């Protein structure tokens, strides 16, 4: 019996560390399915290196009876799948951490003062086969936690059933062996986890799949992309159902071809999505400008990662906000959206297609590696409601012989597509008159510029106000994008801090200035310069009093967010 007290805490964190190719995701999947089936809310996120084999990746599995949607820095259970302690491991383990792993190398951690369950994996591998090592470790964890073995066996079958009954049975036997080791090492005071509880019906969904589902809900017909982490998964997810749903998914020869395919598709009446990351997005600047001049709708999903250049290609950052705001030569309106969680990733992506169609502008959806690679159980009722309530609203009119593609009568001109009526539909990347013919006539040029930019005022009038909690508080913490969940959880510790979350980044909705009058403003974001702080000042004249910034390629952990806020307000 270990001298290790596993108390009945609100939230519990498991960290799996190992090289690429060691099966971290399979072990995580097993734990998530068993924990969720036992009635726990689950959250996972992977931090990984840019390599196919080797290195050290970290996969967090957090679970709780309450909703849990953000990572913890400190691990309650640490599972190293290989020898050698990386410097980053020391940031996640402490004297309270239980370390479970191969007896040949977990004693390397003895200096941490942690507790251990050593497993004779080499011996067990001869008995079951090396491919079952992670199944054994999963059994140890589940046995230690007291999870129901019957529930675990049901999930083993669901995971391995496609490989045949023999593989299912071997995994069950290997898991049971590990389960007995875990049970033997359980302390007297444990989490009461063997009794199955019920939670609201949920989908276990990643941010990647949420964006894909949102695009399908929004009526996407064509997805064009050139592979670039972390955005490629969106195209892959949609491709899974492309034949069934009649969606074309095309890997282009480069990023410029990908965005031009999308522009051509929108010109012809389809709804297209481009999914890319920072380096690819940078190459698309000229075509985004073409979309602005020709007033062709466009939807771009930008999965952010650290730059500049290749940077940290598999890590996370909110470093492309100002790039998105100003990309493209010349002046033209655009809309920037950034979901804060998986639910918003679905709803905002769907909405992006209607917004592009309605205003005939580029719409850029900013996510990041952390959001895309996070997975947790989301309310089935919420996701189903997003899908069922959304209406695809196409703004395409039948043309006639007098049709003017760029009519000056309204800022948003009537849009038609070739072949839909008797008229001629002409779009032009040069400055043009109302019919689309090239012009350099002074008065027409000015009127066309004014017409395009006048869309911004209309968009602002319809932009939603930010989400606000505790608006009367002295301090107001502002964030955007994927920091939403960790901040809302951290703010449970503070009564004197309000919260304002922006999912609509540009143009700023009317009324923001009034909402922030007299507030001591804190802006939290994942970049080194406070890009949202700059955007806030340029759009409203308001200067942030404090900044909470992180830019090492990792997301905010709940502990460091609480510490940072406390350092400002106390």
pLDDT tens sequence across 520-553: 999 999 999 999 999 999 999 999 999 999 999 9
Region class of 180: left (phi > 0), else alpha (psi between -120 and 50), else beta: alpha
Q: Is residue 326, in this structure, part of any structural domain at all?
A: yes
Residue 3 clears pLDDT 50, i.e. is over it = no
Query: Looking at residues 414-427, what average pLDDT do you find?
Result: 95
Question: What pairs with residue 44 in β-bridges?
Answer: 61, 375
Q: Is residue 6, in this structure, part of any structural domain at all?
A: no
pLDDT of residue 195: 52
Q: Do residue 421 and residue 443 come from a single domain? A: yes
DSSP 314-336: TS-----HHHHHH-SSS----EE
Q: Is residue 2, in this structure, part of any structural domain at all?
A: no
- Confidence class for position 108, pLDDT limits 50, 70, 90: confident
Provide the mean pLDDT of the chain. Answer: 93
Q: Do residue 173 and residue 280 come from a single domain? A: no
pLDDT tens sequence across 221-260: 999 999 999 999 999 999 999 999 999 999 999 999 999 9
Q: Do residue 183 and residue 60 come from a single domain? A: yes
pLDDT tens sequence across 396-412: 999 999 999 999 999 99
Q: Which CATH number characterizes residue 19's domain?
A: 3.40.920.10
Of 27-36, 89-98, 242-251, 323-332, where does mean pLDDT reach its minimum?
89-98
- N- to C-terminal Cα separation, the chain: 43
Dihedral sign of CA atoms 150, 153, 159, 164 in order: negative
Provide the 3-class DSSP secondary structure of residue 435: coil
* Residue 333 phi, psi (nearest 5): -75, 155
* Residue 147 phi, psi (nearest 5): -70, 150
Q: Which CATH number characterizes residue 308's domain?
A: 3.40.50.970
Distance CA(453)–CA(457), nearest Å, equals 8
Domain final position from 461, 484, 518: 461
pLDDT of residue 198: 66
Higher pLDDT, 18 or 436: 436
Of 148-157, 321-330, 443-452, 540-549, where does mean pLDDT reach its minimum?
148-157
Domain final position from 443, 461, 479: 461
Q: Which domain holds residue 456?
A: 396-461
Q: Which of the 8 DSSP states describes residue 254?
A: S
Q: Residue 347: is it exposed, middle or buried by C-beta count within 10 angstroms (0-12/13-18/19+)?
A: buried
pLDDT tens sequence across 160-209: 999 999 999 999 999 999 999 999 988 765 554 545 566 778 999 999 99
CB contact at 8 A, 213 and 387: yes
Q: Do residue 379 and residue 433 come from a single domain? A: no
Distance CA(13)–CA(97), nearest Å, equals 10
Distance CA(489)–CA(297), nearest Å, equals 37
Query: Looking at residues 60-66, what average pLDDT do you find?
Result: 92
**Contacts of 88 by beta carbon, 8 Å cutoff, 6+ apart:** 56, 58
Q: Is residue 421, in this structure, part of any structural domain at all?
A: yes
Q: Do residue 275 and residue 369 come from a single domain? A: yes
- Confidence class for position 2, pLDDT limits 50, 70, 90: very low
Q: Do residue 49 and residue 152 come from a single domain? A: yes
Query: Looking at residues 469-492, what average pLDDT do you find?
Result: 96
pLDDT of residue 191: 52
Q: Do residue 77 and residue 53 come from a single domain? A: yes
* H-state helical runs in 241-315: 242-245, 255-267, 278-283, 285-294
- Confidence class for position 394, pLDDT limits 50, 70, 90: very high
Residue 149 clears pLDDT 60, i.e. is over it = yes
Higher pLDDT, 37 or 358: 358
Domain final position from 149, 183, 199: 199
Q: Is residue 5, in this structure, part of any structural domain at all?
A: no
Residue linked to tokens 């309310």? 379
* Residue 72 phi, psi (nearest 5): -105, 145
CA distances from 416 to 160, 338, 379, 419, 435 (A): 51, 29, 39, 9, 12
Residue 212 clears pLDDT 50, i.e. is over it = yes
Q: Do residue 238 and residue 312 come from a single domain? A: yes
Q: Which helix (H) or strand (E) holds 376?
A: strand 375-379
Q: Which CATH number characterizes residue 537's domain?
A: 3.40.50.920
Query: Looking at residues 328-345, what average pLDDT do you find?
Result: 98
Q: Is residue 121, in this structure, part of any structural domain at all?
A: yes
Distance CA(505)–CA(451), nearest Å, equals 22
pLDDT of residue 186: 83
Q: Do residue 143 and residue 243 come from a single domain? A: no
Distance CA(412)–CA(357), nearest Å, equals 10
What are 305's two structure tokens? 């990662």
Q: Is residue 1, in this structure, part of any structural domain at all?
A: no
Supply the angle between the helices 207-217 and 232-240 in degrees, to the nearest 10: 60
Number of domains into which the chain is organized: 4
Closest Cα to residue 306, out of 294, 315, 298, 296? 315
CB contact at 8 A, 509 and 466: yes
Q: What is the CA radius of gyration of the chain?
A: 26
Q: Do residue 545 and residue 415 come from a single domain? A: no
Q: Do residue 255 and residue 376 come from a single domain? A: yes
Q: Do residue 218 and residue 314 come from a single domain? A: yes
- Confidence class for position 511, pLDDT limits 50, 70, 90: confident
- What is the per-residue burial (b if ≥16 Cβ within 10 Å, else e) of 238-275? bbeebeeeebbbbebeebbebbbbbbebbbeebbbbbb
Q: Helix, strand, coil: what percent of the chain each, to 5? A: 40, 20, 40
pLDDT of residue 446: 98
CB contact at 8 A, 556 and 483: yes
Distance CA(210)–CA(485), nearest Å, equals 16
pLDDT of residue 8: 44
What are 549's two structure tokens? 């910034």
Provide the 3-class DSSP secondary structure of residue 482: helix
Q: Is residue 304, in this structure, part of any structural domain at all?
A: yes
Query: Looking at residues 55-67, what average pLDDT do you find?
Result: 91
pLDDT of residue 112: 66
pLDDT of residue 9: 54
Half-sphere exposure of 95 (CA within 13 A, CB side): 1
Region class of 449: left (phi > 0), else alpha (psi between -120 and 50), else beta: alpha
* 3-class secondary structure per residue, 145-189: HCCCHHHHHHHHHHHHHHHCHHHHHHHHHHHHHHHHHHHHCCCCC
Higher pLDDT, 74 or 109: 74
Query: Looking at residues 87-107, what average pLDDT do you find?
Result: 87
């Amino acid at each position: 019996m270990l001298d290790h007290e596993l108390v009945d805490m609100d939230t519990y964190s498991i960290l799996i560390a190992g090289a690429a190719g060691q099966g971290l995701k399979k072990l995580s999947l097993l734990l998530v399915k068993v924990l969720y089936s036992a009635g726990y809310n689950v959250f996972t996120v992977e931090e990984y290196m840019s390599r196919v084999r080797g290195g050290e990746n970290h996969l967090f599995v957090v679970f709780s009876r309450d909703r849990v949607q953000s990572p913890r820095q400190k691990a309650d259970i640490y599972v190293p799948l290989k020898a050698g302690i990386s410097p980053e491991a020391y940031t996640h383990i402490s004297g309270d951490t239980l370390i479970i792993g191969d007896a040949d190398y977990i004693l390397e951690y003895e200096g941490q003062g942690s507790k251990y369950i050593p497993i004779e994996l080499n011996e067990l591998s001869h008995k079951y086969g090396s491919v079952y090592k992670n199944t054994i470790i999963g059994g140890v964890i589940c046995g230690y936690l007291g999870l129901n073995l019957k529930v675990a066996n049901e999930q083993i079958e669901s995971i391995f059933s496609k490989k045949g009954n023999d593989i299912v049975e071997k995994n069950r036997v290997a898991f049971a062996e590990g389960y007995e080791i875990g049970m033997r090492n359980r302390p007297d005071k444990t989490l009461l986890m063997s009794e199955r509880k019920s939670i609201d019906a949920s989908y276990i969904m990643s941010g990647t799949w949420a964006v894909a589902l949102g695009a399908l809900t929004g009526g996407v017909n064509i997805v064009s992309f050139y592979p670039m982490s972390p955005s490629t998964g969106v195209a892959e997810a949609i491709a899974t159902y492309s034949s069934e749903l009649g969606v074309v998914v095309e890997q282009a020869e480069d990023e410029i071809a990908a965005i031009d395919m999308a522009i051509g598709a929108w010109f012809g009446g389809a709804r297209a999505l481009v999914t890319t990351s920072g380096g690819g997005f940078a190459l698309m600047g000229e075509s985004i400008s073409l979309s602005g001049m020709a007033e062709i709708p466009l939807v771009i999903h930008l999965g952010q990662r650290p730059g500049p250049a290749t940077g940290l290609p598999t890590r996370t950052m909110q470093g492309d906000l100002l790039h998105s705001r100003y990309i493209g030569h010349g002046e033209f309106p655009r809309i920037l959206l950034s979901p804060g969680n998986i639910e918003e990733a679905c709803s905002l992506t769907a909405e992006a297609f209607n917004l592009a169609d309605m205003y005939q502008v580029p719409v850029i959806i900013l996510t990041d590696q952390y959001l895309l690679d996070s997975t947790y159980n989301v309310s089935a009722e919420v996701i189903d409601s997003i899908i069922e309530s959304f209406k695809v609203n196409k703004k395409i009119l039948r043309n006639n012989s007098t049709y003017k593609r760029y009519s000056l009568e309204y800022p948003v001109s009537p849009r038609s597509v070739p072949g839909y009526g008797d008229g001629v539909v002409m779009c032009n990347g040069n400055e043009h008159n109302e019919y689309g013919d090239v012009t350099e006539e002074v008065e027409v040029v000015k009127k066309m510029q004014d017409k395009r930019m006048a869309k911004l005022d209309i968009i602002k009038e319809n932009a939603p106000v930010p989400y606000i909690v505790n608006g009367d508080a002295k301090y107001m913490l502002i964030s955007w994008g994927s920091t939403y969940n960790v901040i809302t959880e951290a703010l449970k510790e503070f009564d004197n801090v309000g919260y304002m979350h922006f999912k609509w980044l540009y143009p700023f909705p009317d009324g923001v200035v009034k909402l922030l009058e007299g507030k001591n403003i804190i802006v939290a974001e994942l970049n080194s310069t406070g890009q949202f702080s700059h955007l806030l000042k340029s759009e409203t004249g308001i200067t942030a009093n404090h900044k909470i910034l992180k830019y090492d390629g990792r997301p905010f952990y709940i502990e460091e967010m609480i510490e940072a806020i406390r350092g400002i307000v106390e």
